[in-house]
Structures are given as C-alpha cells and as structure tokens.
A = this chain, B = another copy of it.
Amino acid sequence: MFKRMEEIMIEIPDVEKPDANAAAAVHELLGGKFGEMSTLNNYLYQSFNFRSKSKLRPFYDLVMSITAEELGHVELVSHGINKIMQGSTSPGDPDKSPLESVKDARFSYPFLAGAQGAMPFDSMGNPWTGANVFNSGNLVEDLLHNFFLECGARTHKMKVYEMTDHPAARAVVGFLLVRGGVHVVAYAKALEVATGVNVTKLIPIPSLDNRKFNESRKYEEKGVHTKLYTWSDNDFTTIDQIWKGTHPEDGSALEVIHGVPKGVPIPEAPPLDEEFAPGISADEFKEIAKRLKQSGNIKE
C-alpha cells in the first residue's frame, strides 16, 4: 500500500516561455522506453513478484523503496512538462483560432486530447507500454537489467538536457540526473553484493560526470547524490546493507535516510479557457461552492 503527500520534490521555475517541442522532448523522459514510467513499473512489478524475500531482504527492500521514489519522479517530470507548455495559448473567441499557435507542435495530443498537460506518451506520441517491463525473477538478471535501465535513462536525460535550455526542463532534468544517478549506483552496489563483482567501476555510463551539468552540480555539491531514502514510515530499513561504503565517483560516504526527503508544495495550474479546463464559469463556481458546503446528499 502507498500513501500520498501534496508535495513534489523540488521547486520548478515559473517562467512563461512556452515551448511545445521541448515539452515533447521531455515526454521521452516520462513515457519513453527509458522514461520514469518505465523505471517505476519495472520496480513495481519486480517488487510484486520478488521471491525468497526473507533470505534476500535488503534487495527486496531496495526495490520496494525505490519504487516509491519513482512515483515521485513520474510526478515531478509531469509537472515540469506542464510548466514548459505554460503560456502556449491565450483565451479567445473560437473563431479567432486561439489554439493556432500550437498547430505545428510536433506532439499534438496534449493540445487536442488534453489541456496542455503531461501524458504517458513519449516524444513521438507513442504511448508508454507494459512491454517496457522486465522481470525475469532471477535476482542477478533483474539487477543487471535495472543497472542497464538506469544507465539508459541517464543517457536520455543527458540528451534532453542538452536539447533545451528551458528553465523548467533544466531544473527538473538536472535534479533527476542526480537522483537517477543514485539509482545507477544503488543497483550497481546491489549487483556487487549479489555477485562479488565490482560493477560500480563501470560508473559513470556515459562517462560524462553529472557535475558537468549546472543544474545537477548544485545538488551534488549538497550531497544529494549520496542519500538513499526508505520512502516509508517504518519499512525497508535494511537497504543500508547495500547502500553503504562510498560513492564510486567522488568517494563521499553514502547515507541511508529513513522516511522521505522534504518536498515543496505542488503549484496550482491556472485555468485554460481555450482548452475548456476546468471549464467552470464564475456562476457555476458559486453553485458548486454551495453544493460543497451542503451537508448530506446533493439530491434525493
């Protein structure tokens, strides 16, 4: 079971600089084969199907807890996408074509199906699919997969970062590079514990250091790359049998933190009349307010 908080992980710059194609690129990090939907669902299903957990408790705890962080990543990158599209259009008479400015955007669904919000699709408008989930049940093979998956995810983030300087994209992707980097190391460490082979020596793949990215460096300087959270009130505490020793890149000491990091409030998205979202008129708001305050059933 899961609990939710009305918080996201970091503050996203509130700059009005709409860029539909940058939002499309960031969608690759959400609904793409190597996007957050993939990391989330791989670990979610691996956690469901984990065998012999009593003997392999720290590995189980690792997969269980990282899943929860991935939910927050899916959430964060979605909010980032929304900020990148913000300001794309303005309200107007339908016969004045208020959506014309996005007609040439190369990913049309957020404008036609949605109201300029994130969708579980990739940069080409192909939906995320369950076919992206790998779960052999074999511990070493699943860890190897996860290590590879995180390396692939990291590469995609690096490329998207290089593709757009939109402040919201940079902020979100820079942060996720660091946290994704934590998962790269976590699965490498897990492989080392499982096999005795020093897989962490392969890190980083690609060999470019996160610190070469301004929006990542600022987090690494604060040690964000050394902390793994249990993402739980009481469970998953044995991850410190895997997340231990030092970081393979800079040698700093690794630390497990019980619970969750401090987040920030989720920003409010403004109405978008030209997309009929939420599509409630001033009068209707009043009626709704009344019905919300009413006790008992609305209708008998």
Contact = CB atoms under 8 A, between A and B. Distances in A.
B1 A8 contact: yes
Number of this chain's copies in the assembly equals 6
Given A52-B269, A117-B135, A241-B292, A37 B130 contact: yes
Contacts of A106: 104, 106, 108
A276 B208 contact: yes
A162 to B, nearest CB: 4
A129 B112 CA distance: 18
Contacts of A119: 45, 130, 133, 135
A211 to B, nearest CB: 11
A232 B5 CA distance: 6
Contacts of A34: 113
B268 A52 contact: yes
A257 interface: no
Contact of A3 (B3, B32, B163): B3
Contacts of A271: 51-52
Give 8 closest A-B pairs by Cβ, nearest first: A115-B137, A49-B117, A137-B277, A120-B130, A245-B297, A127-B130, A198-B299, A124-B125
Contacts of A117: 45, 48-49, 135, 137
A276 B155 contact: yes
Interface in A105-151: 106-109, 111-121, 123-131, 133-141, 144-145, 147-148, 151
Contact of A1 (B71, B99, B298): B71
